[in-house]
């Protein structure tokens, strides 16, 4: 199975489809699934504090029609946009990223998903993702350009 390859350039530049001389490029779908899972805004939980002070919980409208009850697309990483560089925020980033990727195991796309979050340098949060596929091969992804302190 293949999918149109999606690349993520950070919140300032966003995402785009990958191109080569012949047009759209493809991948096996895993990279695109990871990018969409991490960088699509999941609906905030009732107890979450919305960073812009509004009551907009964001989320994807189609979550209301999920085949699995309470199944939600995306991550709550957007909630950290205005947070300070604290270990508690790094821990929440790891938790939110893991939450957004757990479906890969639930749906049998992966045997295991491990997320590591760290401060890459002052004001920059990085995520490392390791996915063990059903055939035991490992795919690794690194994102360190998506969240920069204002």
Chunked into runs of 10 residues, the chain (150 residues) has average pLDDT values of 56 56 66 90 94 91 83 93 91 97 95 96 92 97 70
Q: What is the pLDDT of residue 70?
A: 81
Query: What's the CATH code of the domain at 36?
Result: 3.10.450
Instruction: Look at residue 104 and tell me if it is in a domain.
Output: yes
Is 120 within the bounds of a domain?
A: yes
Q: Does 1 fall in a domain?
A: no
pLDDT at residue 68 in the model: 83
Identify the sign of the CA torsion 93, 99, 103, 105: positive
Q: What is the pLDDT of residue 17?
A: 57
Enclosing domain of residue 93: 31-148
* Alpha helix positions (H), the chain: 30-39, 87-101, 103-106
The verdict on residue 8 lying in a domain is no
Say what the pLDDT of residue 149 is.
52
pLDDT of residue 78: 93
| Residue 23, domain member (yes or no) | no
What pLDDT shows up at residue 123? Answer: 84
Total domains present in the chain = 1
């Amino acid at each position: 199975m293949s999918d149109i390859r999606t690349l993520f350039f950070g919140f300032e530049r966003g995402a785009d489809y990958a191109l080569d001389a012949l047009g759209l490029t493809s991948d096996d779908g895993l990279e695109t699934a990871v990018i969409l899972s991490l960088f699509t805004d999941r609906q905030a939980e009732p107890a979450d504090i919305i960073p812009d002070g509004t009551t907009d919980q964001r989320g994807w409208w189609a979550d209301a029609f999920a085949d699995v009850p309470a199944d939600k697309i995306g991550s709550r990483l957007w909630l950290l946009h205005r947070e300070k560089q604290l270990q508690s925020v790094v821990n929440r980033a790891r938790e939110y990223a893991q939450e957004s990727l757990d479906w890969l195991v639930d749906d049998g796309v992966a045997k295991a998903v491990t997320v590591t979050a760290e401060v890459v340098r002052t004001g920059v949060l990085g995520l490392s993702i390791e996915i063990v596929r059903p055939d035991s091969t490992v795919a690794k992804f690194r994102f360190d350009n998506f969240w920069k302190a204002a």
